[in-house]
């Protein structure tokens, strides 16, 4: 964890008063649990699954949540929690694998289920408890398991069941330990938010007093304490993450902030001019603009493998940034707009069992190369929280609600070799997609919309002549947290209009497709 994140968390009054820890056992929904808890105005963070009781006590949490996971509790090498955490008297909620762990540790048996459950199931509440206060007698829940608790000792009280899972929820008779075989954190469990709220408020005794305004104040105070009189360099891209980071830093240290914009030639259409204009309007700090297009394109010549693209972009970014940063006197710190999903997907969150999905050139590497101390004030926030924080800091709505843009830029949307000509085609197509989404009044209703240039050419007929030209894929998704996403159901008329404009206005394109893949199993970006 970064020093600024640690500082914010350790000095936060309202945060530390009501904090819940999620022990991550490698579940795809672990981050979503943390987000759902924060929606109840209770601060929450992920920690290693094998955190010790002493480390738990140092956090002084109001409650613990054991996440799901892909393993079987009885398998060799399966991740386990320290059994001592159940002796701390701190309320525990085990979800799926977490429930199985808790029951296995406290007197239950876990076995391979006779009938696996993946998807919706009808759940019947069989016993009253604080956890199910206000619940209907029957409700839909989302199941995703092959194992289940087959029996429990008399120390446990079964609370709910489904048709194929007789122990779908439990409560320990003498300890504040609860378990759920289903997933309350996903939207497919309609009463899931109520259940989590019951655990937080009725079981853990939380009042829901944490707010992003508190986080901003605490982060600003922590930045001032850490930075002192030194100068901070911030990489500015024009996206919401770097803009909110810059706004937070400027609020904290004012003219001690210097920002660097590296134009790597992989930006969207007119991006550099827009960033400079926005920066001039909303910040008064020192701004450096680096023209690195030729350098980046030369490095990417002939490269088609996605991870290699990211590595090369990261290397060139470091070299460009390093050269420009050397011109900033008295700089000791580097600020980055790293978010929680970035940290999770790069495998850097807490060195736990979660898989690395992709490389992020803005997570690690750069501070060590430059010899700076790292400041990542947004490291523990989700995208929607960053947007709300931006509004709290007074940033304009258009900037705050701008769709996300990947750190490696258009290189990961230009499949195959990256050249200036292919980038120009992609830029024009992408601008049309965004323009039409805005014209249809759907920009704020969708989470991310962009074009992808495919390394595929196909036959077409234009003006009675045969063509053999590029294909563009349109990607538009809806998401609350960008950890999961579903493809946007855009009107057919809008898609048809986009396709017509792209084919007519972008020279070199004769085919347009629409991506209808969800995350998971796909990712939002194509590379």
509 within some domain: yes
Instruction: Summarize the confidence of residues 214-219 as an average pLDDT.
Output: 84
Query: Residue 453 and residue 388: Cα distance in Å, rounded?
Result: 32
Residue 526 lies in a domain: no
Indicate whether 235 pLDDT > 70. yes
Q: Does residue 14 lie within any of the structural domains?
A: no
List, in sequence order, every residue forming a beta bridge with 140; answer none if it has no partner.
122
The span from the CA of 202 to the CA of 176, in Å, is 11
Phi, psi values for residue 503, rounded to 5°: -65, -35
Residue 12 lies inside a defined structural domain of this protein? no
If asked whether residues 329 and 420 sit together in one domain, one would say no
User: Is residue 286 located within the same domain as residue 181?
Assistant: no
Domain, as residue range, for 115: 19-203
Let me know whether 269 and 358 are in one domain: yes
Structure tokens at 476: 């538009």
Of 378, 400, 422, the one marking the end of a domain is: 400
pLDDT for residue 7 is more than 50? no
* Residue 521 domain-assigned (yes or no): no
- Residue 31's domain is classified under what CATH number? 3.40.50.880
Q: Are residues 394 and 420 located together in one domain of the fold?
A: no
161 & 289 share domain? no
pLDDT of residue 372: 82
Domain boundary among 203, 236, 257: 203
Q: Any bridge partners for residue 240, and if so which?
A: none
d(CA 448, CA 479) in angstroms, rounded, equals 8
Whether 299 and 266 map to the same domain: the answer is yes
* Lowest mean pLDDT segment, chosen from 69-73, 446-450, 462-466, 485-489: 462-466
320-337 confidence digits (pLDDT tens): 988 998 898 888 899 988
Q: Pick the more confident residue, 220 or 284.
A: 220
pLDDT mean across residues, the chain: 85
The number of distinct structural domains making up the chain is 3
Write the pLDDT tens digit of every residue in 19-39: 999 999 887 778 789 889 998
Using CA atoms, how far apart are residues 239 and 355, in angstroms rounded to an integer? 26
Residues 401-444: tens digit of each pLDDT: 889 888 899 999 999 999 999 999 999 999 999 999 999 999 99
- Does residue 237 share a domain with residue 197? no
Peptide bond into 108 cis (omega under 30): no
In the predicted structure, residue 358 carries a pLDDT above the cut 50:
no
Q: For residue 96, give the nearest of 146, 158, 34 by alpha carbon.
A: 146
Average pLDDT for 41-53: 89
Residue that is last in its domain, among 400, 423, 448: 400
Would you say residue 487 has pLDDT above 80?
Answer: yes
In a domain, 520, yes or no: no
The residue among 103, 43, 47 whose CA lies nearest residue 350 is 47
Task: Let me know if residue 281 belongs to a domain.
Answer: yes
Q: For residues 464 and 16, which has the higher predicted lDDT (pLDDT)?
A: 464
Q: Are residues 55 and 72 in the same domain?
A: yes
Q: Percent of the chain having pLDDT more than 90?
A: 45
**Lowest-pLDDT range, 142-156, 221-235, 246-260, 443-457?**
142-156
Q: How many CA atoms lie within 13 A of 196 on its CB side?
A: 31
- Are both 180 and 324 inside the same structural domain? no
Residue 446, in any domain of the structure: yes
DSSP-derived letter for residue 511 is: E
Residue 113: pLDDT over 70: no
346 pLDDT band, cuts 50/70/90, is low
Q: What is the pLDDT of residue 466?
A: 81
Burial class (CB in 10 A: 0-12, 13-18, 19+), 378: buried
From 102-111, 263-272, 342-351, 354-363, the region with the lowest mean pLDDT: 354-363
Which residue numbers are catalytic? 96, 183, 185
CB of 112 within 8 A of CB of 147?
A: yes
Which whole-number Å values give the CA distances from 203 to 42, 177, 234, in the listed order?
Answer: 13, 10, 42
DSSP string, 422-489: HHHHHHHHHHHHHHHHHHTT-TTTSSEEEEEEEEEEEEEEETTEEEEEEEEEEEEEE-SSSSSBEE--
Q: In terms of Cα–Cα distance, which of 169, 176, 187 is closest to 61?
A: 176
Do 85 and 134 lie in a common domain?
Answer: yes
pLDDT at 352: 47
Tokens matching residue 237: 């891209």
Window from 108-122, 131-145, 513-527 with minimum mean pLDDT: 108-122
Asked if pLDDT for residue 9 goes beyond 80, the answer is: no
Residues 439 and 312 in one domain: no
Question: What is the domain-level CATH number for residue 481?
Answer: 3.30.300.10
Query: Same structural domain for residues 93 and 198?
Result: yes
Give the integer Cα–Cα distance in Å for 409 and 143.
37
pLDDT digits (tens, 9 = 90+) for 143-194: 875 677 767 778 888 899 888 888 889 999 899 999 998 999 988 888 899 9
**Mean pLDDT of the 273-294 span:** 82
């Amino acid at each position: 964890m970064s020093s600024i994140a640690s500082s914010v968390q350790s000095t936060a009054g309202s945060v530390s008063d009501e904090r819940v820890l999620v022990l991550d056992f490698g579940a795809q929904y672990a981050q979503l649990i943390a987000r759902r808890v924060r929606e109840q105005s209770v601060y929450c963070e992920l920690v290693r699954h094998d955190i010790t009781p002493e480390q738990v006590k140092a956090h002084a949490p109001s409650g613990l949540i054991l996440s799901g996971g892909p393993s079987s509790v009885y398998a060799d090498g399966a991740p386990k929690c320290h059994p001592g955490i159940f002796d701390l008297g701190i309320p525990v909620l085990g979800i799926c694998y977490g429930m199985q762990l808790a029951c296995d540790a406290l007197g239950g048996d876990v076995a391979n289920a006779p009938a696996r459950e993946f998807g919706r199931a009808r759940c019947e509440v069989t016993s009253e408890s604080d956890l199910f206060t206000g619940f209907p007698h029957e409700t839909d829940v989302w199941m995703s398991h092959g194992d289940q608790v087959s029996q429990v000792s008399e120390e446990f009280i079964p609370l709910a069941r489904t048709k194929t899972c007789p122990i779908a929820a439990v409560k320990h008779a003498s300890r504040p330990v609860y378990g759920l075989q289903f997933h309350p954190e996903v939207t497919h469990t309609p009463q899931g938010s109520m259940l989590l709220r019951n655990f937080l408020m009725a079981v853990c005794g939380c009042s829901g007093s944490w707010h992003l305004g508190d986080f901003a104040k605490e982060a600003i105070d922590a930045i001032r304490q850490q930075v002192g009189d030194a100068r901070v360099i911030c990489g500015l891209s024009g996206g919401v993450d770097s803009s909110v980071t810059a706004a937070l830093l400027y609020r904290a240290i004012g003219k001690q902030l210097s920002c660097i914009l590296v134009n790597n030639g992989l930006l969207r259409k007119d991006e550099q001019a827009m960033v400079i204009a926005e920066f001039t309007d909303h910040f008064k700090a020192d701004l450096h603009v680096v023209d690195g297009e030729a350098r980046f394109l030369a490095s990417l010549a002939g490269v088609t493998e996605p991870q290699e693209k990211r590595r090369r972009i990261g290397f060139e970014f470091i070299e460009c940034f390093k050269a420009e940063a050397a011109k900033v006197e008295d700089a000791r710190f580097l600020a980055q707009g790293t978010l929680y999903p970035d940290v999770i997907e790069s495998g850097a969150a807490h060195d736990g069992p979660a898989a690395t999905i992709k490389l992020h050139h803005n997570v690690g590497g750069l501070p060590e190369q430059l010899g700076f101390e790292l400041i990542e004030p947004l490291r523990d926030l989700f995208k929607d929280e960053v947007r709300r924080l931006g509004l709290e800091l007074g940033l304009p709505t258009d900037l705050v609600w701008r769709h996300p843009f990947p750190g490696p830029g258009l290189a990961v949307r230009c499949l195959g070799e990256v050249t200036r000509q292919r980038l120009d085609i992609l830029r024009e197509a992408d601008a049309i997609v965004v323009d039409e989404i805005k014209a249809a009044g759907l920009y704020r209703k969708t989470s991310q919309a962009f074009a992808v240039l495919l390394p595929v050419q196909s036959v077409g007929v234009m003006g009675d002549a045969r063509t053999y030209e590029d294909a563009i894929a349109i990607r538009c998704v809806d998401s609350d947290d960008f950890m999961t996403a579903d493809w946007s159901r855009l009107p057919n008329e809008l898609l048809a209009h986009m396709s017509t404009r792209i084919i007519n206005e972008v020279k070199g394109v004769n085919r347009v497709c629409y991506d209808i893949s969800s995350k998971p199993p796909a990712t939002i970006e194509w590379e």
